[in-house]
Amino acid sequence: MKFGPSLAGLIATAALRGSDGIWDLLRRTVHWRISPFWYAIALAGPIVVFGLAIAMYTALGGSGVETAQWTFPDTIASLASLMAVRFFAGGGVGEELGWRGFLLPVLQARVGPLHASVIIGLLHGAWHIPAYGVGGAIVLTVFTVAMAIVATWMYNGSGGSVLIVAIMHATFNAFIKWVEVVAPGLDNQMGWVLIAILLAVVASVFVSKRLDDRGAT
């Protein structure tokens, strides 16, 4: 299941565009010569969103913020290892060859970047129904739509880099898992998750007017 979207993207690309399409998709997946700005967004953006969400949740009186006894180097090392795992399986390369590698270019050529982002976000949310149930997937879909808008902005702005979006996706997933490790009291606390979704929506609204910007490589 973790590799489902990317496998679907590869199969669809091969069926519609043949070997040339596959090579183009792989080229965009390893497209790394882009502005450092996009790497900063991909790595720091998710951490800022979730970090602010936890801080706001705590400031509003939220409970469950007890932390595990971890040293700073151990904490950083655990996050880095989770990001590496999530990049190669589950969220990064495991999904983005489908969502942004295949589906985004096809959709935005037909309906434009904003509508394409919303469609992908809805499909991404629905894909989580087997794992989270209908109720959980509906909540998650708000986040996946917001993330899809930001991902389109990054994809277009970086000159079509699937790699940079895969890094962002992996960072989001890794940070969620990392919180379970270093702050076990926050596990399953919906308050900070809802605040994170709200912040992601705000970010998506902020960048939505720049979805057609495709020159910053």
143-192 pLDDT, tens digit per residue, is 999 999 999 999 999 999 999 999 999 999 998 888 888 888 887 788 98
Closest CA to 200 of 88, 133, 130, 117: 117
- Give the Cα-Cα-Cα angle 107, 108, 109 (nearest 5 degrees): 90
Percent of residues, the chain, with pLDDT higher than 70:
95
DSSP 31: -
CB atoms within 10 A of CB 99: 27
Closest CA to 29 of 97, 89, 99: 97
pLDDT in tens, 193-205: 999 999 999 999 9
Residue 31 phi, psi dihedral angles, 5° rounding: -75, 100
Residue 47 phi, psi dihedral angles, 5° rounding: -65, -40
DSSP calls for 32-58:
--S-HHHHHHHHHHHHHHHHHHHHHHH
What pTM did the predictor assign?
Answer: 0.92
pLDDT in tens, 56-95: 998 988 887 777 766 666 777 888 888 888 898 778 999 9
DSSP 204: H
Band (52; pLDDT cuts 50, 70, 90): very high
Name the average pLDDT for the chain. Answer: 89
